[in-house]
Amino acid sequence: MNREVAQAEPMERWNDALTALQLLQLDPHGFGGVRLSAPHGPVRERWLHALASLGLALIKVPGSVDSERLLGGIDLAHTLQTGQLQMQAGLLQQADQGLVCLPMAERLSPALLAPLVQALEQGQVPPTRHSTEATTTRFGVVALDESLPDEPGVGVALAERLGVWLDLHELSPTDIHADWATCNAAPLESGGDPNVRLSPGAWARARERLPQVQASDDHMQALCAAAMGLGIASLRVPSLALRVACGHAALNGRSTLDADDLGFAARCVLAPRATQWPSEPSAEQPPPETAPPENTTPSEPPQDPGKAPDNDAESQTDANQDPGPPPEPNAEPSAEDLQEMMVAAALACLPPHMLDKLMTSQGAASHNTSGRSGQTRSGSQRGRPLPPRPGRPGGQARLHVLATLRAAAPKQGLRQTHSTGRVAIRAEDFHIQRYQQRASSCLILALDASGSAALQRLAEAKGAVELLLQQSYARRDSVCIVAFRGAQAQLLLPMTRSLVRAKRAMTGLPGGGGTPLALALKMAHEQAAQLQRQGVTPILVVLSDGRANVTLQGLGGRAQAQSDAQNWGQLWRLSGHRALWIDTSLQPDVQAQQLATTMGASYLPMPQVQSQRMAHAIERVRSPQA
């Protein structure tokens, strides 16, 4: 398959976006929903306006909603107003047989995504502390993804369950025709509805036809093969693509799938999820293309019209032998042909070099986001108290009684017609408590104890560790020391804040031998993963010249040792944690700079290690501004 594929026309993308709206009206929860990647602007507003005109229940779920408002619970404002316990239905229950709209879906917290994904997958709202039984509800999701190319998008668990992915970044208002409501992509049965909404009759016919749409084994095999060729490993995606294709066929009045239905599923379901180019099938395409012309030539003489009237016997025998060739033009394409067609349709709608940008943006996104861990975090359980703010109590958000009474006191004259001795409190008076806590961090010091200058480096490192431990008491941070020399890396000191233990560990460390840098990075990566599970932010500081000469197996070989170190440096970069590389060479070394770049670490040449200077450098990396 040629990689220089043409980008889909803007009108075709807009037509697919409008067809997705009709699929939502026809089957709101059958294929999960739609992930819309588009910035704020006229194009997205038009699409959302058409979404609102479908006549479905559309419930917006903001990112600040609490669990009780999402899943249902006590209506605190109504309870305080009436004096009796009042319950309220959650937003997910209100969206039954409708749609849930998620503005800025890329910023939703995991605590909000977990019950949403569970309800979307199981068709039931999970029970809460006020109800012991799950509530049955079926809904679709419209996730509005406003992330930039170098930022993480919608959560993987939610995005995988949304069938149709739309990307309207490349569209502009001039690309959309003025008569966009009567576009070519709208099924003929819609009657040219100016709101792209199916008429009641067309909706009833398509809804009745949807369960009757049949898909052959070749169709399902082609969907799975096309997904595998595009690098899609999830089995849920081909099933969603099949559901979308069946809905597209029902909209167009067909009871069987054809190339248009599979092409739409390939463009809107498979193509946005592609992670690789299907290079292997392209090498096998030329032989089948040259074979059919050779097979058609021998079949032409028996079909000559001039010979049929001459001999009746021959015409009868030909008639008995010819049932094979005539059905060939009308026969359904094979699974290989369907796969080739769907892959071509998927690649045709991808911008040039999109997959290359996707691979690079994933690493950059993870590196940019994970580094924020360990800074100040706002919560509602513990930490330094912050001024209360207006908000809805529920879940982990606790009511600030004093601030609530202060907000309600000036309004009592307007709320009470006669003196009752009770304070009238409304929902706008609620204030919640807030706390701020700083997550602790741990400095993982990877010390190179090899070579003749090891003793001097260890002496200077000891002074730096002492300074760091003195500063860490107020910050409640800790230090972990990994030393590497010879053919092994050693966890010299587990995470600790004890200055005495650090001094003892540094004093008994010998020097000399090879440089197993890859083993040190591997051990640092394992320690960082363990610390992260404990809620501690790891920060790596490497003191080495970067001249690795010992492999992961403990054998000699500079080339393999450098390759192993590069691989573990890339893994550290993908983890997203901060790092600092202090080059202890007499002059700045190229190998150390390359390793620091691979790890995403800050590089600092320091031929003569100075404890005060190193402590300041580590403090800059540890600070939130680093």
- Whichever domain contains 491, its CATH number is 3.40.50.410
| One-letter-per-residue 3-state SS of 509-552 | CCCCCCCCHHHHHHHHHHHHHHHHHCCCEEEEEEEECCCCCECC
Contacts 24+ apart (CB under 8 A), 595-601: 595/517, 595/546, 595/565, 595/566, 595/569, 596/546, 598/566, 598/569, 598/570, 598/573, 599/521, 599/540, 599/569, 599/570, 599/572, 599/573, 600/367, 600/572, 600/573, 601/540, 601/542, 601/572
Separation of CA 406 from chain center: 43
Give the integer Cα–Cα distance in Å for 425 and 380: 22
Residue 525 phi, psi dihedral angles, 5° rounding: -65, -40
Residue 285 lies in a domain: no
Q: Which residues of the chain have pLDDT under 50?
A: 1-8, 178-194, 280-330, 358-376, 380, 452, 624-626
In the block, tokens 């080495």 appear at 544
Residue 371 lies in a domain: no
- Structure confidence at residue 243 (pLDDT): 93
SS3 102: strand
Same domain, 94 and 229: yes
Same domain, 53 and 131: yes
Give the integer Cα–Cα distance in Å for 161 and 335: 26
Token readout for 475 is: 């910050």
Residue 350 lies in a domain: no
CB 614 within 8 A of CB 582: yes
Name the burial class of residue 243, with classes exposed (0-12), middle (13-18) and buried (19+) by CB atoms within 10 angstroms of its CB.
Answer: buried
Token readout for 59 is: 């419930």
* Interval 497-506: pLDDT, tens: 777 777 777 7
Which of 273, 299, 326 is where one domain is finished? 273
216: nearest Cα among 256, 263, 262, 161? 256
**Which residues, 6 or more positions from 1, have their beta carbon under 8 angstroms from its beta carbon?**
277, 278, 279, 281, 282, 285, 340, 343, 344, 347
- Structure confidence at residue 126 (pLDDT): 75
Amino acid found at 171: L
Residue 17 lies in a domain: yes
Same domain, 124 and 239: yes
* Interval 354-411: pLDDT, tens: 555 544 444 333 333 333 334 445 554 666 777 788 887 766 678 888 888 888 888 8
CB 441 within 8 A of CB 477: yes
Please report the DSSP string for 223-272 in residue order: HHHHHHHTT---SHHHHHHHHHHHHHHHHTT-SB--HHHHHHHIIIIIGG
Lay out the sheet containing 384-390: strands in order across.
376-379, 431-438, 384-390
- Structure confidence at residue 420 (pLDDT): 65
What CA–CA distances, in Å, run from 602 to 303, 368, 392? 77, 14, 43
Total of domains in the chain: 3
**Domain of residue 83, CATH code:** 3.40.50.300
Same domain, 79 and 153: yes
- Structure confidence at residue 237 (pLDDT): 92
Give the integer Cα–Cα distance in Å for 423 and 404: 11
Which of 438, 472, 487 is where one domain is finished? 438
Same domain, 86 and 137: yes
- Beta-bridged to residue 537, according to DSSP, are 441
Residue 307 lies in a domain: no
CB 162 within 8 A of CB 29: no
What CA–CA distances, in Å, run from 260 to 17, 222, 282, 544? 15, 14, 22, 60
Same domain, 413 and 500: no
569: nearest Cα among 533, 544, 535, 537? 544
Same domain, 164 and 252: yes
Same domain, 531 and 614: yes
Range of the domain at 67: 10-171+199-273
64: nearest Cα among 314, 395, 367? 395
- Structure confidence at residue 409 (pLDDT): 82
CB 44 within 8 A of CB 17: no
Same domain, 417 and 445: no
- In 3-state terms the chain splits into helix, strand, coil percentages (rounded to 5) of 50, 15, 35
Same domain, 137 and 31: yes
Residue 193 lies in a domain: no
Same domain, 519 and 385: no
Residue 328 lies in a domain: no
* DSSP assignment letter at 292: H
Which of 273, 288, 314 is where one domain is finished? 273
Give the integer Cα–Cα distance in Å for 537 and 213: 53
Token readout for 154 is: 């919608």
CB 72 within 8 A of CB 128: yes
Amino acid found at 407: A
Residue 2 lies in a domain: no
Give the integer Cα–Cα distance in Å for 176 and 559: 56
Same domain, 432 and 445: no
360: number of Cβ within 10 Å: 12
SS3 599: helix
